[in-house]
Each structure stands twice: as structure tokens, then as C-alpha cells.
């Protein structure tokens, strides 16, 4: 988060965290917003005030709903026999503790839809829980993450430690080489991979995708440190930043 903040400030953004605005000013056209008594001129104001699931349709047929959305089991079944629900409006489970969880990602909705479809057709499929794997672009910065953060890992009962490394996306002598940083989080007692984040000029997503695969497979952080990755100078470094971060984490194991 701090890295993204610094990047945005460097691009000329003015960030105000935790401050509401007092008023919106303008007549026929936008003039600005007042924050803590000070006018910030702007041409457009976008108010993104969060979201909540629209469960009205589900409630009309007696489907159980919670404050988080339509309640489903791991087969995406609702409380009404023969009715399934997937996507942004459902309460499903997280991958680690199988506790109630919501997420708003197309990839998860697609997987839930596959599970619901199989079960609706008489098969047996199970959604094994959300990892919250995501990637986004902030200007020229690629930011990705999956699994648990250090704080979330502690809350889930793990003893987390991490390895963090910064390197280049490909050798310095190759055109288009840029910086990338990867953080791998693992359980100190077992070495199990719990989560990770990455950010940089390019390549954050595929490294986080590998971390997500390691989490789903219950893999030891050593497996990431020893992973055999494709290499050629126009594409990658010999010793990838994911290797480095995993190796640093491995050194901190009990």
C-alpha cells in the first residue's frame, strides 16, 4: 500500500486518507470539493461509497441471506433445494478456515459457476474456497496479491514469516528491463505457503499466480525456492525474484 501511495504522489496525485468532504461546489459545472474547510478544485468528482449485495430476489423465494450476501455451501447450494447462487451476491467460504467470506472477482465467480453447473446437472463438485487472487494496474505499476497477508495469517492462527526481494524483470543489459518486488508469506512452523504480493513494471501477476498455485497445493516454501522457471535474457532473469523471496523466507523457518 505504501508503494502504491508513493507512486501516485510521484504522478501528481494528492491523497487524503480518512478525511470526508464537507461539500461539493459547482453550478452548471463542477468547481471542486471542500475537504477540512479547504477547497480542492476539480472537474469531476466520483463518489465510490462501497457496495452491498442485492439479495432481494433471493429473499422473495425464502433463500437464507446474511449481512454478507446469499448464504451458500461449498457446492454453491442455497437453503432452498434446487436453487444455486454464485458471484458477487453470495457468501461463500475462505480457503484456509472455511469461514464465511465474500469476494467480488470475476475469476472466482466463474469457478463458482462451474461448480454450481455441475451440481445442478446431478454431479458432485466443490468450491474449495477463495484466495482473493487479484491483479491491477495503477498507471504503469502492476500490483498483484493472493492468499493471506501477515496480519490475516496471524488472525487465522498461523505464525507467519516472510521473504521479500527486489530485482529486475530481465537482465539489466536487455531493453525494457524494469524493477519488480515480490513478497512470499509462509507459516514458520510448517513452511506452508500462505500468501504473497508483487508489484513492479511487469510480471507481478504471473509470480502471484505461482504463489496461488503453491497455496492451493499445500506446498512448502522450498518448492517455490526450487521451482524450475523458464529463462532467456529477452524474457527473464536466470535467478528470478520469486526464487529470491522464497529463499529468504526459507532461511527464517524454525
Phi (first) and psi of residue 204, to 5 degrees = -65, -40
| Separation between Cα atoms, residue 224 and residue 242, nearest integer Å | 7
The three grid cell numbers given for residue 214, joined into one nine-digit string: 503453491
pLDDT of amino acid 14: 85
Inform me whether the pLDDT recorded for 163 exceeds 90: yes
Strand-pair partners of 92 = 101
8-state DSSP, 192: B
- The whole-model pTM stands at 0.87
How many Å from the N-terminal Cα to the C-terminal Cα in the chain? 29
Sorting pLDDT into bands at 50, 70 and 90, what band is 254? low
CA angle 237, 239, 241 (to 5 degrees): 85
Average pLDDT over every residue of 9-34: 89
207-247 confidence digits (pLDDT tens): 999 999 999 999 999 999 999 999 999 999 999 999 999 99
Strand ranges across the sheet with 193-200:
134-138, 141-147, 193-200, 179-187, 160-168
Strands 69-71 and 90-93: parallel
Phi (first) and psi of residue 208, to 5 degrees = -65, -35
pLDDT of amino acid 46: 86
- Helices assigned H by DSSP within 101-193: 106-120, 150-155
| Separation between Cα atoms, residue 229 and residue 146, nearest integer Å | 20
| Separation between Cα atoms, residue 107 and residue 129, nearest integer Å | 12
Average pLDDT over every residue of 178-187: 96
The single residue listed with the C-alpha cell 458477487 is: 88
81-133 confidence digits (pLDDT tens): 999 999 999 998 889 988 888 888 999 999 999 999 999 999 999 999 999 99
51-72 confidence digits (pLDDT tens): 888 999 999 999 999 988 999 9
pLDDT of amino acid 19: 84
pLDDT of amino acid 141: 93
The three grid cell numbers given for residue 254, joined into one nine-digit string: 524454525
Q: How many CB atoms lie within 10 A of CB 166?
A: 14
26-38 confidence digits (pLDDT tens): 988 999 999 988 9
Strand-pair partners of 97 = none
pLDDT of amino acid 16: 85
| Separation between Cα atoms, residue 200 and residue 77, nearest integer Å | 40
Phi (first) and psi of residue 154, to 5 degrees = -65, -45
Which one is predicted more confidently, 164 or 17? 164
The single residue listed with the C-alpha cell 446437472 is: 121
| Separation between Cα atoms, residue 254 and residue 241, nearest integer Å | 23
Sorting pLDDT into bands at 50, 70 and 90, what band is 49? confident
Amino acid at each position: 500500500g505504501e508503494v502504491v501511495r508513493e507512486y501516485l504522489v510521484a504522478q501528481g496525485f494528492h491523497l487524503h486518507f480518512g478525511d470526508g468532504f464537507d461539500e461539493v461546489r459547482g453550478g452548471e459545472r463542477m468547481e471542486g470539493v471542500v475537504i477540512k474547510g479547504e477547497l480542492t478544485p476539480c472537474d469531476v468528482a466520483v463518489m465510490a461509497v462501497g457496495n452491498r449485495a442485492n439479495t432481494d430476489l433471493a429473499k422473495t423465494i425464502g433463500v437464507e441471506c446474511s449481512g454478507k450476501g446469499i448464504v451458500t455451501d461449498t457446492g454453491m447450494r442455497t437453503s432452498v433445494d434446487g436453487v444455486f447462487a454464485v458471484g458477487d451476491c453470495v457468501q461463500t467460504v475462505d480457503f484456509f478456515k472455511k469461514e464465511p467470506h465474500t469476494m467480488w472477482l470475476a475469476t472466482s465467480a466463474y469457478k463458482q459457476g462451474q461448480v454450481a453447473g455441475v451440481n445442478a446437472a446431478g454431479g458432485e463438485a466443490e468450491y474449495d474456497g477463495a484466495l482473493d487472487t487479484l491483479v491491477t494496474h495503477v498507471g504503469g505499476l502492476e500490483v498483484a496479491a493472493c492468499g493471506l497477508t501477515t496480519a490475516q495469517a496471524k488472525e487465522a492462527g498461523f505464525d507467519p514469516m516472510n521473504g521479500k526481494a527486489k530485482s529486475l524483470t530481465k537482465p539489466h543489459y536487455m531493453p525494457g528491463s524494469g524493477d519488480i518486488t515480490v513478497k512470499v508469506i509462509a507459516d514458520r512452523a510448517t513452511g506452508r505457503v500462505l500468501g504473497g504480493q508483487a508489484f513492479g513494471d511487469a510480471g507481478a501477476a504471473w509470480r502471484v499466480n505461482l504463489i496461488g498455485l503453491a497455496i492451493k497445493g499445500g506446498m512448502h516454501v522450498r518448492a517455490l525456492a526450487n521451482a524450475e522457471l523458464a529463462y532467456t535474457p529477452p524474457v527473464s532473469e536466470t535467478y528470478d525474484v520469486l526464487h529470491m523471496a522464497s529463499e529468504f523466507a526459507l532461511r527464517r523457518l524454525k
